[in-house]
Amino acid sequence: MPYLLYIKSKKTKVYIFMVRKSCIASWYLWAINIVLSSVTFGQELDRDSLRKKVEQFQQTPGYKKDTAYIKALNHLAYRYWSTVPDSVMAISKRALLFSNRIGYQRGVVVAMINIGTAHYEKGNFQEAMEVERDAMIRAEQMGLRKEIGVLCINLSMVYMDIGLYEKAQQLAYRGLEIATENGYDKQVARNHWTLGQVHELQGNLHEARKSFARSKALYDRAGYKDLLHMLDIRIGRVYLKENQPATALEFYEKALKESRDLGHRAGMVRSFMALGDFLEQTGNPTEAMEKYAEATNIAMKLGTEQKVAEADLKVAKCLLGTGKPEEAYVQVQRGLRLARKINHMTLTREGVLVLSEIQAAMGDYKAALDSYREYTSLGDSLMNQEVRTQLVRAEEQFRHGQEIRTVNQRHQEQLLRQRNLTYFILVLSILLVVMVVLLFLYLRNIRRTNRIQKLHQEEIDAQNRELERMGKFKDRILSVVAHDVKTPLNSLKSTVDMYREGMFTKEEMGMLTNDISMKLNEVNFFVNDLVLWAKSQMTEASARPVRFEIKEIVEKTISLLLPDAKRKGIEVLDRTGPGMVFADVEMVKIVVRNFLANAIKYSGKGDGIIISSSIQSGERLLVVSVEDTGTGIPAEKLPHIFDEVNMSTEGTHHEIGTGLGLVLSRQYMEMNHGKIGVESEQGKGSTFWFALPLAEQPS
């Protein structure tokens, strides 16, 4: 985030006065005054001198962690923001700890602003938003106008990165208003900068250039020369988007010259990176690599591992584009190591994608596929832009709903008070006329109110129970989709994406067809089970029993799933005899299909499956069993095999399932007045069975 806050005194000297009772106190005050007389909190101090000042604090006899020390820490954190976000985080957390200890609220707010900035620089937008919002609440409670203005800018940057441009623009205008009213010249300039970024993201390039130019003029007039190069880079980027590369190059070179003249090494890194990007985009990858190398050398001296990693990845892409995949492989490995070391998820994901492309160019398709899958996995963990936007919008809607509910609650309380007051006046009036009538009416009204309240309470309790049930149902649905449906879909998507990008030949894709077909069958069964289970949870389903022959159902199910069994080398034997049952045909089909599918899933090559039936004359039940010689079920899982809490495990060929098939089977058997059960021994196989009422013989 390109803006932090530190406290800068109008005077350059900072003094601390402490009260002591002994003569040593006088000497101590004099020593502290001498040490702090050279401490300034202006932006001209570099990190080395600030570190020395902090060390002087700690080495002073009788030293205490007071407000001057906290200000020094916050300023030191500010000087790190553009190079080492992890250092910003560590120093700011230290400042926050000491601020809380001594009750220094302004120090708390400034430290929280710096922590939010560190989260932003590392791409942790949700964490940055939470910290900055908390800081905004504290700043507004204390009336810290300058800090509120800074937080408007910082939150505006977060909203821009998650795609809420209107919200970002509103905050930028609010920050501009605060800065203008209070004469905060630097904040005025920074808000014009932020508005320029919003205009650029919205496609208003002319307005973006005007805002950037206005911001640069204000910074220049205020003497903040070390920020001018960043605005020149922004203006150059806008000109490049307007298809004016010559003008864009002038601004990039101007930014580099300004940074060199000031000896601003972080600015030189940014300028060389911008020039490298420009050369790469305009078709000069060799010259671009030279600029990236310059940026890398300076960044390494600064200790800015994030910029070094970023430059390494860009050089790797250029090398790949110039037909040097082996050199690109070495470069991308170095960049990836740094990105993982500093735990920068965005750079890591970008590096893994470049690595996948390089491996594909080198002919190592298996490694390329593995890298691409890691890239997809990292994308899920980072959460894509649309999902982040939806989460933030949902949070905003939730907050708005809470405000409406609070207003409604207050309105209801006011109406309740008015009603009670009306009753009270009515009672007093009636007391003056007839006491007996008043008492009768009052008692009758109380009884009626109690009945109504009781009915309302019962309705509310019923609604709460239903909401709780639906909430649990929603959680189970999301758990199943996230755990069992997304995985095969991600695998299929990765394979198809790589085929579309030319990483597989048609012959190689043909070899993967069976695997794709199996995955699609799994997803189809997943969705069918999920829909049926969701329907059973949301509606009161009931069975529609009819007379039918069980053997026909078994034969059709075997013909449906036999290709899967043959593919795995499993023999399926049908030993069911004739038998008429009275049950819901579709529900029984689902039970038979789930039993046979599970038997195939947990059996391997050379195993066998036997489907048989028998009649229990005493209870007038037809029993159908599916016996396999597969992996079996652990003893501790058997008691819960038909519970909703049970989750499916991988099959012998890494097949997965929703774990809902057996739940549906149990529910359907109960609806048809049947029974269900399982017998299994791990390593020897399983026998699943169900029993249905026999159909009455027609008269």
The tens digit of pLDDT for each residue in 598-610 reads 899 889 888 999 9
Q: Within a 10 A sphere around the Cβ of 250, how many other Cβ atoms?
A: 15
Q: 191 and 212 in contact (C-beta within 8 Å)? A: no
431 Cβ contact list (under 8 Å, min separation 6): 438
Q: Within a 10 A sphere around the Cβ of 656, how many other Cβ atoms?
A: 20
Instruction: Give the C-alpha separation, 329 to 691, whole Å.
Output: 62
Q: 94 and 317 in contact (C-beta within 8 Å)? A: no
pLDDT reported for residue 676 = 94
Instruction: Give the C-alpha separation, 259 to 437, whole Å.
Output: 92
DSSP state of 695: P
88 Cβ contact list (under 8 Å, min separation 6): 4, 77, 78, 80, 81, 114, 115, 117, 118, 121
CA distances, 316 to each of 297, 300, 322, 336 (Å): 16, 17, 10, 11
Q: Does 695 or 55 have the greater pLDDT score?
A: 695
Rounded to 5 degrees, φ, ψ at 627 are: -110, 130
Furthest C-alpha separation in the chain: 118
Choose from 56-70, 416-430, 648-662 the range with maximum mean pLDDT.
Answer: 416-430
Choose from 156-170, 526-540, 663-677 the range with maximum mean pLDDT.
Answer: 663-677
Tokens of 148: 């509120």
| Amino acid in position 363 | G
When pLDDT is averaged across residues 112-135 and rounded to a whole number, the result is 84
Tokens of 659: 């774990």
Instruction: Give the C-alpha separation, 603 to 564, whole Å.
Output: 11
Lowest mean pLDDT among 195-209, 404-418, 422-436, 635-649: 635-649
DSSP state of 689: E
Q: 678 and 641 in contact (C-beta within 8 Å)? A: yes
Q: 530 and 660 in contact (C-beta within 8 Å)? A: yes
pLDDT reported for residue 22 = 34
| Amino acid in position 196 | G
Task: Name the residue with tokens 């591992």.
Answer: 305
Q: Is residue 201 over pLDDT 50?
A: yes
Instruction: Give the C-alpha separation, 257 to 250, whole Å.
Output: 11
**Would you call 647 helix, strand, or coil by DSSP?**
coil
When pLDDT is averaged across residues 654-662 and rounded to a whole number, the result is 65
| C-alpha triplet 546, 547, 550: angle, nearest 5° | 115
Q: Does 16 or 667 have the greater pLDDT score?
A: 667
Tokens of 478: 């999301």
pLDDT confidence band for 691 (50 / 70 / 90): very high
State the distance between the two ends of the chain, measured CA to CA, in whole angstroms.
85
Task: Please write the tens of the pLDDT for every residue from 136-160.
Answer: 999 989 888 888 988 898 888 888 8
Q: Which run of H or of E encompasses 10?
A: none
Q: Does 467 or 337 have the greater pLDDT score?
A: 337
When pLDDT is averaged across residues 55-63 and rounded to a whole number, the result is 59
Give which of 274, 215, 225, 212 is closest to 245, Cα–Cα: 274
pLDDT reported for residue 93 = 86
83 Cβ contact list (under 8 Å, min separation 6): 266, 299, 302, 303, 304, 306, 307
* Helix-then-strand count for the chain, H and E: 26, 7
Tell me the H-state helices in 585-696: 585-601, 661-671
pTM: 0.46
Q: 547 and 692 in contact (C-beta within 8 Å)? A: no
Give which of 79, 143, 147 is closest to 107, Cα–Cα: 147
Instruction: Give the C-alpha separation, 593 to 404, whole Å.
Output: 50
Q: Is residue 591 over pLDDT 90?
A: yes
Task: Please write the tens of the pLDDT for every residue from 550-567.
Answer: 999 999 999 888 888 888
Report DSSP letters for 308-327, one per residue. HHHHHHHHHHHHHHTT-HHH
Instruction: Give the C-alpha separation, 681 to 630, whole Å.
Output: 10
Q: Is residue 423 over pLDDT 90?
A: no
Give which of 253, 251, 220, 227 is closest to 238, Cα–Cα: 251
When pLDDT is averaged across residues 462-478 and rounded to a whole number, the result is 64
Q: 642 and 633 in contact (C-beta within 8 Å)? A: no
**Which contacts qualify for 277-285: CB closer than 8 Å, 24 or more apart?**
277/314, 278/236, 278/240, 278/245, 278/248, 278/249, 278/252, 280/314, 280/317, 280/318, 281/240, 282/245, 285/318, 285/321, 285/322
Instruction: Give the C-alpha separation, 14 to 27, whole Å.
Output: 18
Tell me the H-state helices in 37-66: 47-59
Quote helix, strand, coil % in the chain, to nearest 5. Answer: 70, 5, 20
64 Cβ contact list (under 8 Å, min separation 6): 18
pLDDT confidence band for 697 (50 / 70 / 90): confident
Q: 371 and 355 in contact (C-beta within 8 Å)? A: yes
Task: Name the residue with tokens 């903040």.
Answer: 224
Average pLDDT of the chain, as a whole number: 78
Is the C-alpha dihedral spanning 599, 600, 603, 607 positive or negative? positive
| C-alpha triplet 163, 90, 337: angle, nearest 5° | 70
CA distances, 174 to each of 202, 325, 366 (Å): 19, 50, 53
Q: Is residue 270 over pLDDT 80?
A: yes
Q: Is residue 37 over pLDDT 50?
A: no
